[in-house]
Amino acid sequence: MTAYATLDSPIGPLLLTADAAALSRLYMAPFRIDPAWVHDPAALAEPARQLAEYFAGERTAFELALAPAGTEFQQRVWRLLRAIPFGETTTYGTLAGELGNPRTVRAVGLANGRNPISIVVPCHRVIGADGSLVGYGGGIDRKRALLAHEAEVAAGFRATLW
């Protein structure tokens, strides 16, 4: 059974789903709710609490059971995303190099784009080689807002964007 809940956030509504007590999706609006899913905010209370803390500038790391569906390569990329420190960025090329093959830059970009648990698996922390904000399913404005929020919190300031 897949449980779902929606959550208001400073970057707009979020959709959270859980399968077997693990967060399986975190999508930004617009999103589609599968009619087979069961509306169960209680099942997603902990992810919702941690996200509220993140947006309030009180949390810099998530401690959640995750169950993102994806290929082995995608899973490897998503594990690397989780290792990007809060308030910092990296490039697709750097991630490809960490995987042992700099030629996989495009594949890394595609895996990054298929990340089903945005924010918690911080795909927004990946930028272009020239420092530009490229490729974000939630939109560049949201990516910019998330990065600015994290930079401000990391610098020791209370988030004021929200």
Per-residue pLDDT for 159 more than 80? Answer: no
| Residue whose structure tokens are 């890394």 | 108
Kindly give the residue spans of alpha helices, DSSP state H, lying in the chain: 45-55, 72-82, 92-98, 105-113, 140-154
- List the helix and strand counts (H, then E) for the chain: 5, 6
Per-residue pLDDT for 162 more than 70? Answer: no
Write down the pLDDT at residue 156.
87
Write down the pLDDT at residue 45.
98
Per-residue pLDDT for 16 more than 50? Answer: yes
pLDDT (average), residues 23-37: 97
Tens of pLDDT along 53-63?
Answer: 999 999 999 99
**Cβ atoms 90, 99 nearer than 8 A:** no
pTM for the full predicted model: 0.93
Question: Which of 1.10.10.10, 3.40.50.720, 3.90.1570.10, 3.40.190.10 would CATH assign to domain 72-154?
Answer: 1.10.10.10
Which carries the bigger pLDDT value, residue 157 or residue 21?
A: 21
Q: How far, CA to CA in Å, does 30 sit from each of 24, 27, 87, 112? A: 17, 8, 26, 19
Per-residue pLDDT for 161 more than 90? Answer: no
Residues annotated as catalytic are: 123
Tens of pLDDT along 59-113?
Answer: 999 999 999 999 999 999 999 999 999 999 999 999 999 999 999 999 999 999 9
Q: Does domain 2-55 have CATH number 3.40.630.30?
A: no
Write down the pLDDT at residue 135.
82
pLDDT over 70 for what percent of the chain? 96
Ordered by start, the domain boundaries in the chain are: 2-55, 72-154
